[in-house]
Structure 1
Amino acid sequence: MLTIENLAVAYKGIMALRGVSLSVAKGEIFTLIGPNGAGKSTMLNAASGIVPAMSGRILFDGEPIQGRAAHLIARAGLIQVPEGRRVISPLTVAENLALGREAAGRRGSEASDIDEVYELFPILAERRNQLSGQLSGGQQQMLAIGRALMGKPRILLLDEPSLGLAPVIVREVFDALIRLNRGGLTILLVEQNAKLALQTAHNAAVIEQGRIVHQGAASDLIDDPVVADHYFGRAEVMA
């Protein structure tokens, strides 16, 4: 579904990604873990067309997409849920969801799309007429995911969905991601909670200083003593 080959990205002359390669298969959850500043968000932003690549290739369902405008990539079905949620605070829950549909080129409104989001996150149905800026952090994260789903993604990219959320809300969000994946949605997940991410994913990669240093089945990485020693300390508290 998504193939990244020898991707290099620089910010103001500083290399953020140094020849990163990975492949996300259709129907799987793939997680990317690593320390802050390692290049995780940069990789998502490059795939989404938000930042340009210096070199390398990005293939979405076999078609090269590097150099395309971000909105065209989203309309092709690669949609990102950004770090920090970024809901539109002056708009209601329902208006944010409608915006997600329109931004992805799906003009108009279909009740079935919104109903699917409300079924996944019932609290959003209860608060459909509430301003999104008045929601809790967890509810805003659910709204950000729901807004992306309104665009009918073929692959969903998520950047730190657990950031700043209470453990019970983190579990609720991850349970929703598992439900979506079981329904056939491909997911690429960047996540600070390494243990939970690896428990959720099928395959995974570890990135450090802009390079992939470990890659394989998530079940193998979670048992790797080096990975555990470096990344499970904080996640143990949250999981």
Structure 2
Amino acid sequence: MLTVENLAVSYKGIQALRGVSLKVTQGEIFALIGPNGAGKSTLLNAISGIVSTQSGTVSLEGETLTGKSAHAIARRGVIQVPEGRRVIAPLTVRENLELGRQASGRRGTSDEDLDRVHDLFPILAERKNQLAGLLSGGQQQMLAIGRALMGRPRVLLLDEPSLGLAPVIIREVFDALIRLNREGMTIFLIEQNARLALETAHDAAIIEQGRIVHRGAAKALADDPVVADHYFGRAAAAH
């Protein structure tokens, strides 16, 4: 579905990605984990066309996305839910959702799209006329995901969806992602909580210093004692 081949990205002389290659299979949840500063968000932004690449290619079902603008990539169905949610605070919940539809190049209204989002996150239906900036962090995360869904993504990219959320809200968000995947959506997930990411995903990769250092079935990585000690132990110590 989504293929990244030998991707390199540099920021102001600092090499952020070094020959990254990976494949996301249609209908799966793919997780990318790694320490802070490893290049996770840079990779997602390179796929989305937000940052420029030095070399390598990104393709969606064989169509090259490299060099296309961010809005052109979104209109081809690769839609990102950014880190920190970034909802438009002065707009209502409903207006934020409609913005997601328009940004993907779709016009008009469709009750089907709204019904899908409201079914997934009922609180958004209850708060549809409320300003997005007045929502809780968890509700804003749901809104950010809903906004992306309004564009009918072929691949949904998520950057740290659990960041700053209470455990009960994290579970609700991840249950929604699992449900979307069971309905056929392909999901590429970057997540700080390595254990949760590997429990949720089908396949996964680990990035360190801009390079992919491990990849394979998520369960196999979760069961690897080196991976568990390095990532689960660090997470446990941090909490």
In the alignment, does 2:194 pair up with 1:197? no
Which residue is equivalent to 1:38? 38
Shift of 1:128: 0.5
Match of 2:117 in 1: 117
Name the structure 1 match of 2:51.
Answer: 51
- The 5 A counterparts of 1:70-149 are 70-149=70-149
Taking a change above 3 Å as real, the CA distance of residues 238 and 149 of structure 1, as seen in their structure-2 partners, is farther
The one-letter code sitting in structure 2 at the alignment partner of 1:210 is G
How far apart in 2 are the matches of 1:223 and 1:205? Answer: 14
Supply the distance in 1 between the matched residues of 2:92 and 2:35 (Cα, whole angstroms).
Answer: 35
Q: Distance in 1 between matches of 2:91 and 2:238?
A: 31
Letter in 2 for 1:18: R
Cα separation, partners in 2 of 1:37 and 1:195, compared to 1, 3 Å? same
Contact 1:196-1:235 at 8 Å conserved across structures = no
CA distance in 2, matches of 1:133, 1:173: 19
Matched residue type, 2:144: A
Structure 2: 5+ residue stretches without partners: none
Q: CA deviation at 1:233?
A: 3.1
Amino acid at match of 1:3: T
Q: Please report how far the alpha carbon of residue 108 of structure 1 lies from its aligned counterpart in structure 2 after TM superposition.
A: 1.2
For residue 175 of structure 2, what is the aligned residue in structure 1?
175
Secondary structure class of the residue paired with 1:128: coil
Give the letter for the 2:229 counterpart.
Answer: D
One-letter amino acid of the structure 1 residue matched with residue 215 of structure 2: Q
Deviations along 1:94-129, one digit per CA (max 9) or x if unpaired, are 000000000101111111100100000001111000
Calculate the TM-score normalised by the size of structure 2. 0.98
- Name the SS of the counterpart of 1:74 in structure 2: helix
CA distance in 1, matches of 2:106, 2:41: 26
CA RMSD of aligned residues (A): 1.3
Confirm whether residue 216 of structure 1 aligns to residue 216 of structure 2.
Answer: yes
Counterpart for residue 29 of structure 2: 29
Residue 226 of structure 2 corresponds to residue 226 of structure 1: yes
Question: Kindly, what percent of the aligned residue pairs are identical?
Answer: 75
